[in-house]
């Protein structure tokens, strides 16, 4: 809450529709968004324009964009409380990005480490869009004058660029943009791969046994947990450095049940991995099942989903248009 105006601070976040969402994204982001929406003026978007920085099958991109929007709501995002929309439905994002492109220097954008990493992963398709992706991200944030942006470590550098661009525009023209701050949620556990627990769970992992998706059936969840990598020991003890597989499963069980890590260790004293994995699987099934069932119902009503996104886009466009009008005038464009 702004102490001077009494208005709620604005928070914005989004996810790419490049695959089904995972429990890692739910625990690390979506769960927090659901709680934040009541305390902040919240905007949540499906960032489909960011997704095409690497090649996408058009039909899949359309389907997954709607899938992700439905999953936002299934997880608890309330479109009557938050503004929910698809990025490409608000063209002001891309329009502002061009202005910011002309403010950003080649040197500062070329220092973005994520561009270097993704260029290595997609060496056959290193596009200008992949290079300027952080500037579109800056436009996503600045077009709504967001005060806060939930970011992981991999996006922190991009947010710093956003802050620099906001300050640069404000200096060269006049105060226009809110300079956003990173928002680090109090709870945002990192969930690791079930097959390679030294690395983060990823929705794009080639090995689907590594990842639990929010659309997985009860049987699929139980099977993936049953086959999760642990170690050569037998006792259930939390040690993320030496026993990352067990620690990861304990973290999942902790989030699903609310029991502390110490209580979980006590619960499974004298029991083996079989009993432990069965309990983790059941607690995860109990958490995911209602989300999946709500998702299935929302996704089956595509007309209703599209109407919700249309209303969200109209609200977002009204806000974005006001910002862009000021930016265009200050930049020196002739008003239409």
| Each residue's pLDDT expressed in tens, for the chain with a length of 336 residues | 554 456 899 999 999 999 899 999 999 889 989 999 999 999 999 999 999 988 899 999 999 999 999 999 999 999 999 999 999 999 999 999 999 999 999 989 888 877 766 666 666 777 888 889 999 999 999 999 999 998 776 778 889 999 999 999 999 999 999 999 988 766 556 899 999 999 999 888 889 899 999 999 999 999 999 999 988 778 899 988 889 999 999 999 999 999 999 999 999 998 889 999 999 999 999 999 999 999 999 999 999 999 999 999 999 999 999 999 999 999 999 987
HEC string for 46-83 = ECHHHHCCCCCCHHHHHHHHHHHHHHHHHHCCCCCCCE
Q: Is 6 left (phi over 0), alpha (psi -120 to 50) or beta?
A: left
Assign 6 to helix, strand or coil: coil
CA gap 86, 46 in Å, rounded: 5
Which of these, 66, 71, 87, lies nearest to 144 by C-alpha position? Answer: 87
CA distances from residue 147 to 40, 43, 157 in whole angstroms, order as listed:
10, 11, 17
Sole residue written with tokens 């389907």: 63
CA torsion, ordered 9, 76, 51, 189, to nearest 10 deg: 80
CA distances from residue 145 to 117, 137, 149, 159, 277 in whole angstroms, order as listed:
29, 13, 11, 13, 45
What is the domain class of 10-189+301-331 according to CATH? alpha beta
- Position 4 scores a pLDDT of 47
CA gap 247, 153 in Å, rounded: 21
CA distances from residue 123 to 10, 18, 135, 176, 323 in whole angstroms, order as listed:
37, 19, 21, 38, 37
Hey, which residues are catalytic here? 118, 200, 203
Per domain, the residue ranges of the chain are 10-189+301-331, 208-296
CA gap 193, 244 in Å, rounded: 10
Which of these, 43, 92, 41, lies nearest to 321 by C-alpha position? Answer: 92
Residue 83 host element (H or E): strand 83-86
Report strand pairing: 83-86 vs 181-183.
unpaired
Q: Is 179 left (phi over 0), alpha (psi -120 to 50) or beta?
A: beta
Q: What is the pTM of this model?
A: 0.91
Spatial contact of 214 and 291, defined as CB atoms under 8 Å apart:
yes
CA gap 106, 182 in Å, rounded: 24
CA distances from residue 3 to 6, 7, 175, 193 in whole angstroms, order as listed:
5, 8, 20, 42
258, with CB counted inside 10 A (0-12, 13-18, 19+), is exposed
Structure tokens, 196: 């390679």
CA gap 51, 6 in Å, rounded: 36
Which of these, 41, 95, 40, 88, lies nearest to 66 by C-alpha position? Answer: 88
Contacts of 204 (CB under 8 A, 6+ apart): 18, 19
- Give counts: helices (H), strands (E), the chain: 14, 5
Sheet holding 181-183, edge to edge: 83-86, 41-46, 10-15, 148-150, 181-183
Architecture of domain 208-296: Orthogonal Bundle (1.10)
């Amino acid at each position: 809450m702004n102490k001077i105006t009494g208005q709620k601070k604005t928070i914005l976040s989004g996810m790419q529709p490049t695959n089904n969402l995972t429990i890692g994204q739910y625990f690390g982001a979506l769960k927090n968004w659901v709680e934040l929406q009541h305390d902040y003026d919240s905007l949540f978007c499906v960032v489909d324009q960011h997704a095409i920085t690497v090649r996408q099958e058009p039909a899949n991109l359309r389907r997954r964009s709607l899938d992700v929007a439905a999953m936002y709501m299934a997880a608890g995002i309330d479109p009557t409380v938050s503004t929910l929309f698809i990025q490409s439905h608000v063209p002001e994002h891309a329009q502002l990005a061009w202005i910011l492109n002309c403010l950003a220097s080649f040197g500062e954008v070329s220092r973005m480490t994520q561009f270097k990493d993704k260029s290595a992963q997609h060496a056959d398709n290193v596009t200008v869009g992949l290079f300027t992706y952080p500037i579109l991200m800056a436009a996503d944030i600045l077009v709504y004058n967001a005060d806060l942006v939930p970011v992981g470590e991999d996006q922190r550098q991009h947010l710093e660029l956003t802050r620099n661009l906001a300050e640069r525009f404000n200096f060269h023209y006049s105060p226009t943009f809110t300079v956003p701050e990173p928002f680090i949620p109090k709870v945002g556990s990192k969930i690791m791969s079930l097959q390679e627990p030294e690395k983060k769970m990823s929705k794009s992992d080639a090995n689907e046994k590594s990842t639990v998706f929010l659309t997985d059936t009860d049987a699929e969840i139980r099977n993936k947990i049953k086959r999760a990598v642990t170690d050569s020991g037998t006792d259930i003890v939390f040690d993320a450095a030496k026993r990352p597989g067990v620690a990861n499963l304990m973290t999942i069980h902790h989030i699903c049940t609310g029991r502390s890590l110490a209580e979980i260790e006590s619960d499974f004293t004298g029991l083996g991995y079989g009993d432990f994995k069965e309990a983790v699987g059941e607690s995860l099934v109990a958490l995911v099942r209602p989300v999946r069932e709500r998702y299935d119902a929302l996704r089956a009503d595509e007309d209703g989903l599209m109407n919700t996104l249309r209303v969200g886009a109209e609200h977002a466009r009204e806000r974005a248009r006001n910002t862009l009008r000021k930016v265009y005038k200050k930049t020196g464009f002739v008003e239409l």
